[in-house]
């Protein structure tokens, strides 16, 4: 993890917590903007303490800050202090006035420290004053108090009478400066030379002798501190397990990022579900497994789902424990998929056209009417666009029909349970209602691209619907 030989002026600060929000940690460490690292650097710079490098790691129960080759004390700094004007500072005899003498006394300066400088067309007396320089050890409590408060969780909660806010309860704090464990308070908490490791529902305290001892301790207990290293290991375990099942891992970057911050010591298990559920649309199965159960799907060589799934556990488990866990997950997944099966049957029986009529009761935006009115605007717009783009009769008909039905799936049971399936379920329900494949595909593409890395619509009607739906929103 740390390749260099640790020096006395390296620093380690750990915040041990209850389970932190995995999605928040994933956003923090996967966004690529290094927001937390930037805040750390800014705090150190403001305190005039400099370092060569820093690393930040996180698991569900700890945030770790390692700062390498830190200066032993604050950098020197001089401030130029403005005093009275030159005219008010000296009498006609050239001697210092009472006003100047009072200024010099207040600043601990003498006449030899005086500089005359112009400011806004007038000369003033200035003196240079060096700020007090403290050792790094004395400044660290203030630095890490600010750093703890600067961790960018979107939701913070007050946890003790000191007024300390953090995303989850803090259970331990630890700070090493070189070989020395520092003791100081943050809120009602005090740092100590120990860390907490959670295994099989038991949180145990372990003493820490040094920075290197800390990382060795984590390694002995299977805790992988580096999120990038942990994510790589999770993917490797999942890919190996999928291969043993005769398939490959279904790609879901969002789920992988989230699960990476749900575990400290990843291990995998595999299980199966009833093949009959494969009749459901593939997206229903993958979303249900990923968003509700945090489990991974497996696909065959053709890219179709297999009746198997993979899960990542936090910590090692015996074969008997894995069997018990697999059985429990299978039962929960079965119940969820039965719900999805019921939703799909009810939605297909109702039909999209009937659901569209109910859009009149669904508010689009306050002051902007209902979703039915939005749909009607899109239909009206489609007729104008078809003319201006000289679409063929068939293309114009497809585009208009897609606009007519595009929002109807918002009131289906399936989209009510899985909002991320809007548009996607509209595609399947359109096909089930007898709509053409072209109309159905356009409905399914209306929200593309959802993110900067998402795919683009393939059909002309889908691309037009995507553009003008977003234009209407703007």
**Distance (Å, whole) CA 257 – CA 312:** 12
Per-residue confidence band for 33, with pLDDT thresholds at 50, 70 and 90: low
Average pLDDT of span 2-9: 51
**What is the reported pTM?**
0.84
Q: Is the pLDDT of residue 453 over 80?
A: no
Q: For residues 374, 376, 380 and 386, what is the CA-based torsion angle, rounded to 10 degrees?
A: 80
Q: Are 261 and 20 spatial neighbours (Cβ–Cβ below 8 Å)?
A: yes
pLDDT above 60 (res 6): no
Model confidence at 77: pLDDT above 90: no
- Determine the pLDDT at residue 32: 63
Cα–Cα separations (whole angstroms), residue 349 to 15, 242, 430:
54, 36, 12
Q: What pLDDT is recorded for position 471? A: 84
Q: pLDDT tens for residues 294-324?
A: 999 999 999 999 999 999 999 988 999 999 9
172 contacts 16 by C-beta, under 8 angstroms: yes
Average pLDDT over residues 70-84: 89
Listed residue (126, 127, 83) closest to 102, CA to CA: 83
Per residue in 123-148, pLDDT tens?
A: 998 988 888 899 999 999 999 999 99
CB 247 within 8 A of CB 306: yes
3, 5, 7, 12 alpha-carbon torsion, rounded to 10°: 30
Most confident among 2-11, 126-135, 194-203, 212-221 (mean pLDDT)? 212-221
pLDDT at 7 over 60: no
Asked if residue 180 has pLDDT above 60, the reply is yes
Contacts (Cβ under 8 Å, ≥6 apart) of 201? none
CB 461 within 8 A of CB 442: yes
- What are 231-249's pLDDT values in tens digits? 999 999 999 999 999 999 9
207-221, 289-303, 444-458: the lowest-pLDDT one: 444-458
Confidence of residue 5 (pLDDT cuts 50, 70, 90): very low
Question: Percentage of residues in the chain with pLDDT exceeding 70?
Answer: 97
β-partners of residue 189 are: 186
Per the DSSP assignment, residues forming a β-bridge with 73 are 135
Q: How confident is the model at residue 2 (pLDDT cuts 50, 70, 90)?
A: very low
Q: What is the average pLDDT across 18-26? A: 95
Distances (CA, A) of 165 to 8, 168, 171, 229, 364: 32, 9, 13, 30, 36
Percent with pLDDT over 90 in the chain: 72
| Cα–Cα nearest to 160, from 195, 184, 186, 141 | 186
Q: Please state whether beta strands 189-190 and 185-186 pair in parallel, antiparallel, or not at all (unpaired).
A: antiparallel
Q: Could you give the CA distance from residue 235 to residue 245 in angstroms, rounded to a whole number?
A: 15
Measured CA to CA in angstroms, residue 59 lies from 21, 24, 66, 191, 259 at distances of: 10, 12, 15, 19, 11
Give yes or no for residue 91 having a pLDDT over 90: no
Residue 48, sorted as left (phi over 0), alpha (psi -120 to 50) or beta, turns out to be: left
And the tokens for 359?
Answer: 């859009």
* Residues with Cβ within 8 Å of residue 98, at least 6 apart in sequence: none
Q: CA Rg, the chain, in Å? A: 32
pLDDT band at 196 (very low <50, low <70, confident <90, very high): very high
User: 364: helix, coil or strand?
Assistant: coil
Is it the case that residue 60 has pLDDT exceeding 90? yes
Mean pLDDT across the stretch 440-452? 91
3-class state of residue 205 by DSSP: strand
* Over residues 400-411, mean pLDDT: 95
Q: Is the pLDDT of residue 149 over 70?
A: yes
**Burial (Cβ within 10 Å: 0-12, 13-18, ≥19) of residue 194:** middle
Mean pLDDT for the stretch of residues 282-305: 94
For residue 30, what pLDDT is reported? 87
Q: Pick the more confident residue, 363 or 1.
A: 363
């Amino acid at each position: 993890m740390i390749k260099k030989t640790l020096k006395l002026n390296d620093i380690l600060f750990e915040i041990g917590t209850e389970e932190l929000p995995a999605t928040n940690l994933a956003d923090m460490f996967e966004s690529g903007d290094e927001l937390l690292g930037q805040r750390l650097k800014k705090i150190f710079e403001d305190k005039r303490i400099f370092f060569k490098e820093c690393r930040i790691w996180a698991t569900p129960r700890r945030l770790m800050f390692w700062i390498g080759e830190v200066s032993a004390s604050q950098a020197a700094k001089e401030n130029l202090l403005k005093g009275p004007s030159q005219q008010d500072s000296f009498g006609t005899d050239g001697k210092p006035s009472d006003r100047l003498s009072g200024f010099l006394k207040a600043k601990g300066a003498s006449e030899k420290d005086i500089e005359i400088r112009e400011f806004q067309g007038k000369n003033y007396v200035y003196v240079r004053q060096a700020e007090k320089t403290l050792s790094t050890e004395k400044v660290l409590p203030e630095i890490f108090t600010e750093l703890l408060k600067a961790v960018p969780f979107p939701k913070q909660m007050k946890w003790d009478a000191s007024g300390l806010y953090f995303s989850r309860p803090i259970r331990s704090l630890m700070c090493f400066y070189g070989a020395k464990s520092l003791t100081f308070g943050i809120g009602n908490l005090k740092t100590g030379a120990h860390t907490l490791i959670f295994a099989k529902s038991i949180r145990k305290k372990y003493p820490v002798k040094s920075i290197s001892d800390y990382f060795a301790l984590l390694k002995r207990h299977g805790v992988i501190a580096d999120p990038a290293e942990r994510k790589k290991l999770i993917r490797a375990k999942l890919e190996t397990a999928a291969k043993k099942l005769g398939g490959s891992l279904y790609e879901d970057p969002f789920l992988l990022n989230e699960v990476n911050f749900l575990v400290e010591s990843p291990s995998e298990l595999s299980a199966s579900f009833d093949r009959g559920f494969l009749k459901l649309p593939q997206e229903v199965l993958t979303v249900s497994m990923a968003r509700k159960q945090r489990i991974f799907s497996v696909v065959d060589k053709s890219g179709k789902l297999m009746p198997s799934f993979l899960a990542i556990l936090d910590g090692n488990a015996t074969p008997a424990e894995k069997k018990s866990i697999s059985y429990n997950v299978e039962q929960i997944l079965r119940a969820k998929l039965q719900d999805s099966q019921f939703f799909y049957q009810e939605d297909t029986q109702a039909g999209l056209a009937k659901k569209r009529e109910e859009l009149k009761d669904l508010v689009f935006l306050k002051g902007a009417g209902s979703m039915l009115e939005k749909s009607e605007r899109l239909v009206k717009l489609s007729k104008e666009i078809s003319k201006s783009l000289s679409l063929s009769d068939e293309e114009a008909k497809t585009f208009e029909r897609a606009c007519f039905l595009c929002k109807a799936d918002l009131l289906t049971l399936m989209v009510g349970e899985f909002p991320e399936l809007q548009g996607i379920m509209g595609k399947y329900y359109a096909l089930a209602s007898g709509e053409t494949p072209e109309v159905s595909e356009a409905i399914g593409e209306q929200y593309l691209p959802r993110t900067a890395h998402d795919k683009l619509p393939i059909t002309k009607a889908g691309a037009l619907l995507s553009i003008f739906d977003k234009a209407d929103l703007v």
